[in-house]
């Protein structure tokens, strides 16, 4: 790996991606502002309508998942044409993922905290996120500093995993031929939602699978750090498979 290529590659891609992240964040700020404004109007008119804002983390994870899908192929073509090796590209992508995920996790926590501070004494408005819904069981307007840190780490683990999962899916289809792409695109849903459930039901393995899934769910629900551990473990496996696909990835023209 030529470490001298990491900094310029990272700087170029970071400037490009952060613009899209800024647009997304601006949209979420506008939505939250609208929710707060409508809640204020309802409160002023003694309206009992309930307002809710709790989708930031889900929206951010979906956005990063899409970014992971659409950017990796362009990055491979662009960087390899400029003499950057696959290992350097992969390291750059990991650094980008970690940086963007951390920025978005901190920015999202700050946005939720500001919204909660503004509406702390209002009735009929709930501003929260997945961490609070799962681990505090309510819209907690008085989270401790440790809870804020846990929430940031929780979001960070989700964002990293979502971005790299998108990259892995993109690399899988990037390495496949046209026929293989069609087979995987059509066969994966059929296998997951039809063939696999029928097979598990007839073989009696469905009960075992449900037991395993229930045990995993109970484990990650027990603590945010249990979820973070599982998420980061999944991220490690995703990264390994992504590297195995990338290290021999051919340079294909854009379609």
- Reported residue count of the chain is 255
Examine residue 206 and state whether it is found in any structural domain, yes or no: no
Total structural domains in the chain?
A: 1
Pair 139, 128: CB distance under 8 Å = yes
Sign of CA dihedral 45, 46, 48, 50: positive
The first and second tokens of residue 254, run together, are: 């854009």
What is the reported pLDDT for 202?
Answer: 63
Check pLDDT > 80 for residue 34: yes
In the chain, alpha helices (H): 6-44, 56-81, 86-118, 130-135, 145-175, 178-190, 196-203, 205-222, 224-246
pLDDT(191) > 80: no
Which pLDDT does position 176 carry in this prediction? 76
Would strands 125-127 and 51-53 be described as parallel, antiparallel, or unpaired? parallel
pLDDT mean across residues, the chain: 84
Q: What is the pLDDT of residue 166?
A: 94
The whole-number average pLDDT for the span 215-243 is: 91
For residue range 35-50, list pLDDT tens digits in order. 888 888 877 777 666 7
Domain enclosing residue 14, as ranges? 3-175+223-246
Output the six-digit token pair for 71: 């950017």
Residue 252 lies in a domain: no
Q: What is the pLDDT of residues 50-105, one digit of tens each?
A: 777 888 999 999 999 999 999 888 888 888 887 788 888 999 999 999 999 999 99
């Amino acid at each position: 790996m030529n470490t001298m290529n990491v900094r310029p590659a990272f700087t170029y891609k970071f400037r490009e991606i952060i613009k899209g992240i800024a647009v997304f964040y601006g949209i979420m700020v506008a939505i939250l502002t609208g929710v707060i404004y409508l809640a204020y109007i309802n409160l002023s008119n003694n309206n009992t309508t309930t307002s809710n804002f709790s989708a930031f983390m889900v929206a951010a994870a979906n956005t990063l998942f899409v970014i992971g899908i659409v950017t990796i192929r362009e990055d491979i073509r662009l960087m390899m044409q400029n003499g950057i090796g696959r290992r350097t590209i992969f390291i750059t992508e990991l650094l980008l993922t970690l940086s963007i995920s951390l920025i978005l996790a901190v920015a999202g926590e700050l946005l939720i905290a500001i919204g909660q501070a503004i509406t702390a004494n209002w009735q009929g408005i709930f501003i929260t996120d997945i961490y609070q819904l799962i681990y505090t069981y309510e819209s907690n307007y008085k989270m401790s500093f440790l809870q804020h840190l846990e929430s940031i780490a929780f979001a960070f683990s989700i964002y990293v995993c979502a971005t790299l999962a998108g990259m892995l899916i993109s690399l899988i289809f990037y390495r496949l031929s046209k026929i293989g792409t069609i087979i995987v695109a059509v066969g994966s849903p059929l296998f997951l939602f039809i063939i696999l459930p029928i097979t598990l039901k007839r073989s009696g393995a469905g009960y075992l699978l449900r037991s395993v899934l229930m045990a995993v769910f109970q484990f990650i629900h027990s603590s945010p750090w249990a979820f973070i551990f599982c998420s980061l473990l999944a991220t490690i496996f995703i990264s390994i498979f992504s590297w195995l696909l990338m290290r021999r990835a051919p340079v294909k023209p854009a379609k």
